[in-house]
Chains A and B, each alone.
Chain A
């Protein structure tokens, strides 16, 4: 402010203005904001509560005995294809649990969903939604998208909140504030390769890869590379593509794989790319065995001409039983939840994941309730000391705790595509009896770094 014409700028005025500002600031500051960061008045965490009753904490209201969990997931972008069934799976689990009384038979769970716009250009959406929700939730049941999870990792650490990532990146297992479950992508492809070689008559055949040129694609590529090395296989052709937002051309990659005469191609892609890749392969009459990671799949791949192609030339390496397999207690329980609370749900892989994810979180909350502490520290401690997460046979139980005490899932199920059964099992049928939740030495050894 020092450059103005001195005749028109008496120093006195500046002092006056500055003084005014300071006085007002101090007097305003004296009022103070509420003691915590939240607009919710139940989160002081100070009231000691009656004996046997848990103290109030962010996202936990002892008066109504309700625990609120956050869900940060896209509700307005094309990623809805995945997020809608996933969130429905979360919800169905808690509706079922609440009907039985809730966590530890006493505390109901409520989900609060906010759009994180994953897949749109809005980079601030997840962090902003997180900021608006954090005062009102005990933990985050679901955060969808690798980038969105990264964008709130530091905040989670600052605030001592735990969150369930809805992607299978192996790196999540190293994060103290995340609650990843099931087998990472590297395990899916390592088991997939082992199964192809030993059970799908793949000995001596040419194995190739087609992976997206990003962190997800590289996880798949590294998994295959490791497993191939261990199993003594030379990868014939490793092709990469840049995720095309417009169903772009995959001609070059598919042609290269075709000219390399690949018998099996390990595919790490998102559904929109899978559709485009199969279109290119169909038009070139390239018919290897595509072995895809779980997110390559979408129900659309079982429809129309693409469905015929998928049925003959594509298997999915995922985890868990076939939809509707009533020999598995976990599946019976989930089908019951579907019938009662989500009757419109069509069989869907992502719904099952959402249900299992909620299963895991409920076990951590149960531990926290038993320990008598539903504060954020309490929930964190509960996760670190839970010891084991169980899934009633749907997927293998996991040794669980702080990052050093966790054991990532190492099992995989190989599904084939059956367009005729879309209404009964979502179009994914067990490849063979021995294809469910199996593991292999090579998958047990695969390094889980991206």
Chain B
């Protein structure tokens, strides 16, 4: 019942290259983080783009990409939970809120440095995520999904009630330090930055890289394989000695830690304000669906997919907003408003991906790669 879209992680990555070398077995190919020279060069180019972006892009784009980065971190967490371990969550926004409030209390109120509050967000996020774990042991698939929705409504009540943590009144502005040692990302005048967004962009995408690296390593470890066993056949996994208790609980903890870090950065550094009504309740539900849409579009069971998904789901609408000429029928007073069009696109995107490419862009990419590396023979 709980089986999610199972991603054939690495199944099609067995490229002709590794076969030719005679070294790569299926498992070996899977175990490597960056299997080929090309993927390393690809990474280097990505790193270069991130380094160069703040020198090239205007603030509005840096801001959008910063939000994408925060969402990517949280989406990696959701992917570990849903894509790799097969546990459904429609309440991911709750853990972002947890991260936000940790940032507000430890980074802002207590005034502790960046490294402390961001790690605290991860730790507290993990602890609270672990509390939800037992429900996952008791409940199956759809029932679990609904309980995670309940989390959003219960937390709305708690956030309004627990005023010494949340400030009460519905909104809490946050001002957290973002310097690591002598480097203050809010003010990188030393490299010629004149806007806060330039440094914020760097910081967030460094964290995205760290999160991706961590997640890649996790899924390639023993624990990662156990998680996937829980996803594919949870009872069978238990029979062969994989502790469901440990791995379901662990998956919730790890996923929540990522979400809390993403949330701490999003609410504490990008928004610099936490609004109870927009992070919980109905609006929290819509936000949570956004994360599910991200991993569907990007690819269930793919770390890179989570990042690509975040760029598409969160970034594409903004790209459209800045290029009104691309869509002549969209706009105020035209056939459909931009917002309406974006919502429609969001819905259609989910439906189309699930109908035609349930493994998301990650699978499209894998197929393309096999085509290219196997050329001229047909795979």
State yes or no: do A and B come from one complex. yes
Q: Which residues of B contact A117 (CB under 8 A)?
A: 339
Question: How many contacts between A and B, using CB within 8 angstroms?
Answer: 157
Chain A's nearest CB lies how many Å from the CB of B88? 19
Cβ 8 A contact of B275, one of A18, A113, A147, A155: A147
Binary interface profile of B, 41-59, with partner A (CB < 8 Å = 1, else 0)? 1011101100110111111
Check if A7 is an interface residue, CB within 8 A of chain B: yes
B285 touches A147 (CB 8 A): no
Within 8 A of A (CB), among B318-333: 318, 321-322, 332
A153 touches B48 (CB 8 A): no
B273 touches A18 (CB 8 A): no
| CB closest chain-A residue, reference B339 | A76
Within 8 A of A (CB), among B134-174: 160, 169-171, 173
Binary interface profile of B, 76-94, with partner A (CB < 8 Å = 1, else 0)? 0000000000000000000
Chain A's nearest CB lies how many Å from the CB of B169? 4
Check if A63 is an interface residue, CB within 8 A of chain B: no
Cβ 8 A contact of B169, one of A4, A22, A25, A218: A218
Q: Which residues of A contact B52 (CB under 8 A)?
A: 24-25, 28-29
Cβ 8 A contact of A29, one of B34, B55, B58: B55
Knowing A17-B40, A154-B175, A214-B170 are in contact, say whether A4-B32 is a contact too (CB < 8 A).
yes
> Counting chain A CB atoms within 10 Å of each CB, which of B23, B173, B271 scores highest?
B271
Binary interface profile of A, 58-76, with partner B (CB < 8 Å = 1, else 0)? 0000000000000000011
Chain A's nearest CB lies how many Å from the CB of B5? 24
Chain B's nearest CB lies how many Å from the CB of A78? 13
Q: Which residues of B contact A134 (CB under 8 A)?
A: 59-60
Q: Which residues of A contact B332 (CB under 8 A)?
A: 75, 113
Chain A's nearest CB lies how many Å from the CB of B64? 6
- In Å, the complex CA distance between A76 and B334 comes to 13
Check if B67 is an interface residue, CB within 8 A of chain A: yes
Q: Which residues of A contact B41 (CB under 8 A)?
A: 17, 20
Check if B21 is an interface residue, CB within 8 A of chain A: yes
A20 touches B273 (CB 8 A): no
Within 8 A of B (CB), among A72-122: 75-76, 113, 115, 117, 120-122
Q: Which residues of B contact A24 (CB under 8 A)?
A: 45, 48, 52
Knowing A31-B56, A122-B286, A128-B318 are in contact, say whether A150-B171 is a contact too (CB < 8 A).
yes
A450 touches B273 (CB 8 A): no
A-B contact pairs, 24 of them (CB 8 A): A1-B33, A3-B33, A5-B23, A13-B37, A17-B44, A24-B52, A25-B47, A25-B48, A37-B59, A38-B59, A76-B339, A115-B339, A121-B284, A122-B286, A123-B278, A128-B63, A128-B67, A128-B318, A132-B322, A146-B170, A147-B170, A153-B173, A153-B273, A218-B169
Q: 4 shortest A-B CB distances, which residue pairs?
A: A121-B286, A37-B59, A76-B339, A154-B272
